[in-house]
Amino acid sequence: MRFSSLSLLAAAGTLASASNFKSGEYDYIVVGGGPSGIITAERFIEAGKRVLLLEQGSGPTVATGANETLVWNHTLTDIDLPGLSADVGALPAWDEYLCTDTEGYAGCVLGGGVTINYMVFVHPPEHDFDDNNNWPQGWKWKDLKPAAERLYKRNPGTILPSADGKRYDQGLYNVLSNFFKKLNWTSVDMITQPNEKYQVYSHPAWNIKDQVRAGPVRTYLPLAEKSKNFHLSLHTKVLRVVRSGSHITGVEVQTASGKTEIVSVAPHGRVVLAGGALATPRVLFNSGIGPKRQIETAKKSGINVPPEHEWINLPVGVGLKDHPIFTIMAQTPGNFGIPDYESIVNGSDTKDISLYGKGSGLLTQGKHRLTFFSSNNINGTTRYYQGSCAPESDAVLDITTYMTHGLTSSGVLGINENQTTVIEKSPYLQTAGDRVAAYQFIQSLVNDFNAPDSGFELETYLNTTAIMSSLSPGMHYTTTAKMGTDDGRENGTSVVDVNTKVYGTDNLYIVDGSIHPDLPTGNIQATIMVIAEAAAARILAQK
Ligand SMILES: Cc1cc2nc3c(=O)[nH]c(=O)nc-3n(C[C@H](O)[C@H](O)[C@H](O)COP(=O)(O)OP(=O)(O)OC[C@H]3O[C@@H](n4cnc5c(N)ncnc54)[C@H](O)[C@@H]3O)c2cc1C
Ligand SMILES: *[C@@H]1O[C@H](CO)[C@@H](O)[C@H](O)[C@H]1NC(C)=O
Ligand SMILES: *[C@@H]1O[C@H](CO)[C@@H](O)[C@H](O)[C@H]1NC(C)=O
Ligand SMILES: *[C@@H]1O[C@H](CO)[C@@H](O)[C@H](O)[C@H]1NC(C)=O
Ligand SMILES: *[C@@H]1O[C@H](CO)[C@@H](O)[C@H](O)[C@H]1NC(C)=O
Ligand SMILES: *[C@@H]1O[C@H](CO)[C@@H](O)[C@H](O)[C@H]1NC(C)=O
Ligand SMILES: *[C@@H]1O[C@H](CO)[C@@H](O)[C@H](O)[C@H]1NC(C)=O
Ligand SMILES: *[C@@H]1O[C@H](CO)[C@@H](O)[C@H](O)[C@H]1NC(C)=O
Ligand SMILES: *[C@@H]1O[C@H](CO)[C@@H](O)[C@H](O)[C@H]1NC(C)=O
């Protein structure tokens, strides 16, 4: 159930009589069952803690309660099948799972964005954490490497998912890799050579394991579920944390029936927010944590925010970042097209389906056919770019071109009186440096495509200006509750300290994309998972 009617909420604002919760018995209440929440909850379980994981959405896999399976395989839903991920926007799951309570894109389903994303899995390079001072001491690559290794052991990603060791539908890869080879770019394996990010191309790395969509719902959750100390409650939305001054005593939740109730943590318990960069700020505003104006709006929406003398003035929402996407399309001399998704869904594509039954073939692969990376330098600032290349139609190539790590723009996330988080200031191309750098990078690609002997011809967006104006959200939002040493209560920019604890609180932590002080060089999900691994260890180390 989504947050529907506030008047209904107000009317139902009493304690439920028959609660499913063991209020007062949880060492940790984790808010949000996306990748960061599941990983953190599972590591707390391994440490012997009693954990309640609260997720507002439903379970997307058969094991977690989904019952709309493929007509030809009753153990799988359509979002599990890698071969359908390219078409995820056309599946019923898209409308069902996409959040309606945030302005940007996020998944409101167990697994969060990882449940409905395009499965691009970029192992972060070391420079993401080390090449500027945005990540604080204690969060440099040398500190994060063990966390990354823990993640990759369980959720490694793959550039070769088909069990027979073959790659399928390589027409696009062949023609485009040849194009880059002629430009003297280097062929790399983006999983084993994550630090190579200048003029390189690779077979795409996907979040796939055992021929199905991977991610913490498959690679961590089952481990937690073995423990009697683990409790997962779906269809349960946290409205706010309940606190007495700096001490968090529990959370107010709204369950599927629309009823609200308060669930307490154990006396020395902690609350960990993992709702994602677009949703965690709502919980903070509703709890009297953030800029005054946002808390006042939250109060107007009917939430029982604490009295004003308890408000903690922190720059929540300020600093929102995302990767902008620019779309480049070109007619190519290649031989490729897009699969007939309808015949995969309805079971008539017997050739690919029977190969899939043997763990192989086209349906084990994700959307893209080639991924490239590069960078440029404007006045001493290096900005990185990623191109995720997929078929658009017969012989037509679509490049999702991201400007990534090094960009200097940021925006602001707030909330409206309907409890929807809103982007008050766009995070895209706010600085002259970003605009100049993006223009220059795109222009260089345009020149290469327009070279007389390239064999490529731009389509739809015919020049750099048109490509720049195709700008769309990268959906890799971060930095709405930034981690750092400059305490936001004292004019600093940070909302959480280097132990991921919210300034001004005794026992409230954040582990999701909100706290990342910077964007990674590639698609973000692997980085989200690495940081969650590291954050869980930091939190457990706090006595
Ligand atoms: C459409 C789409 C495509 C993407 N494609 C890619 C890609 O190909 N590769 C890549 O690397 N990244 C991709 N991303 C980004 C990636 O999926 C996200 O960055 C990642 O999922 C963020 O993880 P998170 O744990 O921070 O938050 P989320 O994934 O947003 O998870 C937060 C979870 O918390 C729940 N929640 C929030 N608030 C509450 C509350 N108050 N009470 C209870 N539950 C709550 C939500 O329902 C959700 O399940 C994509 C994202 C989207 C939306
Ligand atoms: C499938 O799940 C939905 C949502 O949980 C439920 O309403 C429906 O009854 C289920 N259908 C079957 C056939 O189990
Ligand atoms: C690629 O390298 C070769 C050999 O060094 C050189 O002759 C050629 O001009 C280079 N091409 C481009 C596009 O830089
Ligand atoms: C499945 O979809 C294909 C492609 O749209 C169509 O040709 C075929 O008739 C459909 N088969 C069934 C059984 O619906
Ligand atoms: C159905 O999916 C499972 C993976 O969950 C796989 O092991 C099995 O081979 C698939 N069967 C067919 C017929 O595709
Ligand atoms: C809130 O919702 C109401 C009713 O749907 C709508 O009229 C109003 O414009 C919304 N307010 C905001 C700030 O979006
Ligand atoms: C780069 O530096 C020069 C010289 O200081 C300046 O004129 C120019 O505006 C700068 N460009 C950008 C994009 O900041
Ligand atoms: C750029 O391309 C667009 C179409 O994509 C076209 O409308 C516009 O006139 C072009 N501008 C220039 C300067 O060529
Ligand atoms: C914060 O900055 C404002 C405006 O610059 C100033 O008035 C105030 O004293 C500063 N507060 C602290 C705690 O530094």
Task: Provide mean pLDDT across the span 110-118.
Answer: 98
pLDDT of residue 153: 98
346 lines ligand 4 (CB under 6 A): yes
Mean pLDDT of the chain: 96
Q: Is the pLDDT of residue 541 over 50?
A: yes
Ligand nearest to the CA of 433: 7
Indicate the residue type of 195.
N
Q: Give me ligand 1 centre to Cα 281, in Å.
A: 14
> Half-sphere exposure (CA, 13 Å, Cβ side) for 202?
26
- Round to whole Å and give the CA distance between 361 and 354: 9
210 lines ligand 6 (CB under 6 A): no
Q: Which residues contact 479 (CB under 8 A, 6 or more apart)?
A: 277, 319, 320, 321, 410, 514, 516, 517, 518, 519
453 lines ligand 9 (CB under 6 A): no
Q: CB neighbours (10 Å) of residue 131? A: 16
The verdict on whether residue 117 carries a ligand-binding annotation is yes
347 lines ligand 5 (CB under 6 A): no
528 lines ligand 1 (CB under 6 A): yes
Pairing outcome for strands 260-273 and 508-510: parallel
416 lines ligand 6 (CB under 6 A): yes
If pLDDT is split at 50, 70 and 90, which confidence band does 18 have? low
Q: Is the pLDDT of residue 350 over 60?
A: yes
Q: Give me ligand 9 centre to Cα 291, in Å.
A: 15
Give the residue, out of 218, 355, 356, with the most ligand 5 atoms within 8 A of its beta carbon, to mutate for a pocket test.
356
340 lines ligand 4 (CB under 6 A): yes
Give the residue, out of 62, 75, 218, with the most ligand 5 atoms within 8 A of its beta carbon, to mutate for a pocket test.
75
- Round to whole Å and give the CA distance between 480 and 106: 14
* Vertex 152: Cα angle to 39 and 127 (nearest 5): 100
- Round to whole Å and give the CA distance between 505 and 245: 8
71 lines ligand 4 (CB under 6 A): no
DSSP letters for 94-131:
HHHHB-SSBSS--B-STTTHHHHS--B--PPPTHHHHS
Ligand nearest to the CA of 436: 7
pLDDT, tens digit, 9 for 90 and up, residues 466-482: 999 999 999 999 999 99
4 lines ligand 6 (CB under 6 A): no
Nearest CA to ligand 6 atom 13: 416
Q: Spell out the alpha helix ranges (H) of 314-431.
A: 341-345, 350-357
- Round to whole Å and give the CA distance between 141 and 316: 26
Pairing outcome for strands 51-54 and 230-233: parallel
pLDDT, tens digit, 9 for 90 and up, residues 237-255: 999 999 999 999 999 999 9
Q: Spell out the alpha helix ranges (H) of 1-73.
A: 6-11, 35-46
466 lines ligand 8 (CB under 6 A): yes
pLDDT, tens digit, 9 for 90 and up, residues 88-109: 999 999 999 999 999 999 999 9
- Round to whole Å and give the CA distance between 202 and 204: 6
Domains and CATH numbers, the chain: 8-12+24-123+214-317+479-541 (3.50.50.60), 159-206+321-473 (3.30.410.10)
519 within 8 A of 526, measured Cβ to Cβ: no
Q: Is the pLDDT of residue 23 over 50?
A: yes
- Round to whole Å and give the CA distance between 172 and 180: 12
pLDDT, tens digit, 9 for 90 and up, residues 41-81: 999 999 999 999 999 999 999 999 999 999 999 999 999 99
- Three-state DSSP class for residue 61: coil
Q: Which residues contact 521 (CB under 8 A, 6 or more apart)?
A: 122, 124, 125, 127, 128, 197, 373, 384, 386, 404, 405
Nearest CA to ligand 7 atom 2: 379
- Three-state DSSP class for residue 438: helix
Nearest CA to ligand 5 atom 3: 75
380 within 8 A of 263, measured Cβ to Cβ: no
Q: Give me ligand 3 centre to Cα 218, in Å.
A: 46
The verdict on whether residue 109 carries a ligand-binding annotation is yes
Query: Residue 327: which H helix or E strand, with range?
Result: strand 324-331
Q: CB neighbours (10 Å) of residue 192? A: 11
24's tokens: 């007062």
- Three-state DSSP class for residue 84: helix
pLDDT of residue 509: 99
pLDDT of residue 20: 87
Q: Give me ligand 1 centre to Cα 36, in Å.
A: 9
Task: Provide mean pLDDT across the span 472-498.
Answer: 98
Give the residue, out of 87, 348, 349, 350, with the most ligand 4 atoms within 8 A of its beta carbon, to mutate for a pocket test.
348
- Round to whole Å and give the CA distance between 21 and 15: 12
pLDDT of residue 433: 98
265 within 8 A of 50, measured Cβ to Cβ: no
Look at the block and give the residue holding tokens 């930034």: 482
Q: Is the pLDDT of residue 298 over 70?
A: yes
238 lines ligand 1 (CB under 6 A): yes
Q: Which residues contact 196 (CB under 8 A, 6 or more apart)?
A: 125, 186, 188, 190, 373
The verdict on whether residue 475 carries a ligand-binding annotation is no
Give the residue, out of 379, 382, 441, with the most ligand 7 atoms within 8 A of its beta carbon, to mutate for a pocket test.
379
17 lines ligand 9 (CB under 6 A): no
Give the residue, out of 314, 490, 491, 493, with the most ligand 9 atoms within 8 A of its beta carbon, to mutate for a pocket test.
491
The verdict on whether residue 513 carries a ligand-binding annotation is yes
pLDDT of residue 19: 79
481's tokens: 């509750």
Q: What percent of the chain has pLDDT over 90?
A: 96
Nearest CA to ligand 3 atom 4: 184
Q: Is the pLDDT of residue 11 over 70?
A: no
pLDDT, tens digit, 9 for 90 and up, residues 505-521: 999 999 999 999 999 99
529 within 8 A of 151, measured Cβ to Cβ: yes
286 within 8 A of 240, measured Cβ to Cβ: yes
Nearest CA to ligand 6 atom 4: 418
pLDDT of residue 1: 35
Q: Is the pLDDT of residue 432 over 50?
A: yes
82 within 8 A of 213, measured Cβ to Cβ: yes
> Half-sphere exposure (CA, 13 Å, Cβ side) for 436?
9
Q: Is the pLDDT of residue 462 over 80?
A: yes
Listed residue (456, 476, 464) closest to 398, CA to CA: 456
Q: CB neighbours (10 Å) of residue 348? A: 12
Lowest mean pLDDT segment, chosen from 1-10, 272-281, 390-399: 1-10
Pairing outcome for strands 324-331 and 370-378: unpaired
pLDDT of residue 14: 40
Q: Is the pLDDT of residue 285 over 80?
A: yes
Listed residue (105, 359, 371, 110) closest to 224, CA to CA: 110
pLDDT, tens digit, 9 for 90 and up, residues 363-395: 999 999 999 999 999 999 999 999 999 999 999
If pLDDT is split at 50, 70 and 90, which confidence band does 12 have? very low
Q: Is the pLDDT of residue 13 over 70?
A: no
